[in-house]
Amino acid sequence: MRWLRRRTPTPPTPPPLRVRPMRPDDGGHLDEVFAGMSAHSRYQRFHAPVRVLSPAMRTALLGLDGRTHVAFVAEACDGDGWRAVGVSRFVRTAPGEAELAVEVVDAWQGRGVGRQLLAALAARAEELGYHTLDAEVLLDNQAVLALLQRTFPGARLEPCGTTGTVHCPLPRTRDPFERAAAAWAPALTR
């Protein structure tokens, strides 16, 4: 019966993926993700047909200070080493508020990368005291609308023509009592 056991199909192991904070010297990763995006994905991200990242755009996107401009990069191991496959970021717009953006290379879309990038971003924003992240989206971008709805329960879409703003409340700051209870929970269960 040993041959029967050997024939049992084993599910393919997903390639390793890691998400880490992006640094101002991660320009290579920024370029790698941009290069892996189709014209359609770039249009969805920038709302314009961006063919190259200009030096001014690169400087702005790498102007990360860890508080008012924060980004995360997702890296996948493909056998030849780690490659950047996605980036998420937020930029502060007002006290407690920031605008978010996320992009994943086409080859890795639909595999949970966007979800992990946004989870890391939301957790960091919460730690820094933000209460809302806003996303400017094209209304026909079903992928990001679904992703935001799943990541941020209570997300609200405010449409404006062909675009819209999705207001995403951060989970633990939605209800101050819930937040206080969470902070006390470890002490109470000790």
Ligand X SMILES: CC(C)(COP(=O)(O)OP(=O)(O)OC[C@H]1O[C@@H](n2cnc3c(N)ncnc32)[C@H](O)[C@@H]1OP(=O)(O)O)[C@@H](O)C(=O)NCCC(=O)NCCS
Q: Give the end-to-end CA distance of the chain in Å, rounded to a whole number.
A: 52
- Using CB under 6 A, pick the residue from 77, 146, 180, 182 that binds ligand X: 146
Q: Minimum distance between the CB of residue 2 and ligand X, rounded to whole angstroms?
A: 37
CB-nearer residue toward ligand X: 143 or 179: 143
130: part of which helix (H) or strand (E)?
none
**Residue 132, interface with ligand X (CB under 6 A)?**
no
**Residue 163, interface with ligand X (CB under 6 A)?**
no
Q: Quote the CA–CA distance of 71 and 102 in Å, as a whole number.
A: 9
**Residue 115, interface with ligand X (CB under 6 A)?**
yes
CB neighbourhood size of 131 (10 A)? 15
Segment near ligand X (CB under 6 A); pick from 7-15, 106-114, 121-129, 175-183: 106-114
CB-nearer residue toward ligand X: 24 or 164: 164
CA 43 to chain centre: 17
Strand bridging mode 82-94 / 132-138? unpaired
CA dihedral for 60, 66, 71, 76, sign (positive or negative):
positive
Q: Quote the CA–CA distance of 150 and 72 in Å, as a whole number.
A: 19
Q: Which of residues 62-101 bind ligand X (CB under 6 A)?
A: 101
- Using CB under 6 A, pick the residue from 36, 64, 76, 103 that binds ligand X: 103
Q: Minimum distance between the CB of residue 140 and ligand X, rounded to whole angstroms?
A: 10
Structure-token pair, residue 120: 């890391």
Segment near ligand X (CB under 6 A); pick from 14-22, 76-84, 104-112, 120-128: 104-112
Segment near ligand X (CB under 6 A); pick from 41-49, 51-59, 90-98, 172-180: 41-49
**Residue 123, interface with ligand X (CB under 6 A)?**
no
Q: Report helix, strand or coil for 177.
A: helix
Phi, psi of 119 (to 5 degrees): -65, -45
List interacting residues with ligand X (CB under 6 A).
41, 44-45, 101-104, 109-115, 135, 137, 141-144, 146-147, 150
